[in-house]
């Protein structure tokens, strides 16, 4: 389950930001895990619940946005929405598509406290 290592990386990123920017607690964390990111959101949430106790994220509300995957179809020269990297173009059925969005896993924002 690579979501456990992803969760650990997210916690490290936030803890490093806490040390650098002098905050002690996060009350809200908002992530983005695109449809083409390869991240199973339920597993990531479970992994985060397992690794955040004892960190500045303990007790934080965690929201995970799941934007759809988008791609550029070379065959019909259109931007299209796809659910998986192996999906054909929904307009022409071709497989000559290049993902353009929904591939990221990133921290969007934090609501922090320095109490």
Task: Write a three-state SS string for the chain.
Answer: CHHHHHHHHHHHHHHHHHHHHCCCEEEEEEEEECCCCCCCHHHHHHHHHHHCCCCCCCCCEEEEECCCEEEEECCCCEEEEECCCCCCCCCCCCCCEEEEECCCEEEEEEEEECC
pLDDT of 9 over the 70 cut: yes
Higher-pLDDT residue of 113, 89: 89
Residues 13-31 pLDDT 10s: 999 999 999 999 999 999 9
Domain architecture of the chain: domains with CATH = 2-67+101-113 (3.30.2320.50)
Predicted structure pTM score: 0.87
The two tokens of residue 59 are 């007790």
Rounded Cα–Cα distance for residues 102 and 38 (Å): 10
Span 32-76, pLDDT tens digits? 999 999 999 999 999 999 999 999 999 999 999 999 999 999 999
């Amino acid at each position: 389950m690579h979501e456990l290592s992803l969760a650990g990386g997210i916690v490290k990123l936030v803890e490093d930001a806490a040390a650098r920017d002098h905050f002690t607690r996060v009350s809200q964390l908002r992530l983005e895990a695109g449809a083409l990111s390869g991240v199973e959101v339920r597993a990531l949430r479970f992994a985060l619940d397992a690794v955040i106790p004892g960190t500045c994220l303990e007790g934080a509300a965690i929201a995970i946005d799941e934007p759809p995957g988008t791609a550029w179809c070379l065959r019909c020269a259109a931007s299209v929405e796809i659910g998986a990297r192996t999906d054909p173009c929904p307009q022409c059925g071709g497989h000559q598509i290049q993902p353009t969005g929904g591939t990221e896993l990133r921290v969007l924002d934090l609501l922090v406290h320095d109490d």
